[in-house]
Structure 1
């Protein structure tokens, strides 16, 4: 099995928010997290925990339906929010960093 593309902090948040993902299972990047118990309430908790842990805003960035959302999708969305803006010298560009979603994170 290939190593997950995300870091340990991300996986810890997933483990805390997904009841069906025990300590013995690794979340697969391409399996809908619904298989691990994800529902809309669990997603709210996971997003809130990710925002706190990584100090970003993911508001309005998760556009994948809950039943189809994978850990890979969520990691891509988080990675896009963490990526520095192309032009940090422009205040508007820095403010958009957590609002804009690159096309690579939309499924």
Structure 2
């Protein structure tokens, strides 16, 4: 059976730096894969609190109520999507398109 290719990291260095500080299993040279559950790198609920707090501080936003994926299955790519949604300007989130659609899909991990 062929192994699926890993998704490349879509995020910036600031995001990765916060992840590196909160994921002991990465070590100093490891790079998190976008599609691998972060519990493979040592993520637990306490580490997730630290990472979320670090992301909020580093990016000047709040992620309260937005990380609703279970810790054991949360991937770096999903967390980047949650952060990207939080960083999206509010004017873009609420700008209606035809037939009442918003400008983009917030994805299954975002809580409105």
**Fold match (TM-score > 0.5):** yes
For structure 2, the 5+ residue unaligned runs are 1-5, 94-104
**Whose radius of gyration is greater, 1 or 2?**
2
Q: Residue 68 of structure 2 is aligned with which of 63, 69, 75?
A: 63
Count matched residues.
95
Query: When the two structures are superposed, what TM-score results if normalisation uses the length of structure 2?
Result: 0.77
- The reply on whether 1:31 has 2:36 as its aligned counterpart is yes
* Deviation per residue, 1:36-62 (Å, 9 max, x gap): 000000000000000000000000000
The equivalent of 1:77 in structure 2 is: 82
Query: When the two structures are superposed, what TM-score results if normalisation uses the length of structure 1?
Result: 0.80
For structure 1, the 5+ residue unaligned runs are 89-100
CA contact (8 A) 1:21 1:36 kept: yes
The equivalent of 2:97 in structure 1 is: none
CA contact (8 A) 1:76 1:104 kept: no
Change beyond 3 A, Cα 1:45–1:83: same
